[in-house]
Amino acid sequence: MPKQIVVTVPHALGAAEVRRRLDKHTDWAKTRLEKDNIAVSISEWDGDARSFAATALGQSVSGSLGVAEDSLRFSASLPWTLGIFSPAIELAARRYAADLLA
């Protein structure tokens, strides 16, 4: 059974600024992950949301980013084999989001 993680990080930047920051770092993130043999696909923005998918070692993760005027929401569905790492993944997502929004 897949494990769902959701991380919501509050901010005071406004949705447009958060989208700008995410766009600025998207290519860097893809390049960094691909160096670790993690294939990443990120959709274009659909309003204030975009989806992503990643595959590594035969495991697939899918999820979405949602931007609101006062928060950033990250959600991901992990296969059960990666579910045991969900606390570490959630912690890393919070840290990177906080750095991005700082």
pLDDT value at 78 more than 90:
yes
Whole-model pTM above 0.75?
Answer: yes
**Residue 28: its pLDDT value, please?**
87
Q: Spell out the residues 6+ positions from residue 50 whose beta carbon is closer than 8 angstroms to its own.
A: 42, 43, 44, 64, 65
Domain total for the chain? 1
Structural domain boundaries, residue 21: 3-101
**Residue 70: its pLDDT value, please?**
96
**Residue 60: its pLDDT value, please?**
94
CATH assignment of the domain containing 53: 3.30.530.20
Average pLDDT over residues 72-91: 93
pLDDT value at 57 more than 90:
no
pLDDT value at 68 more than 90:
yes
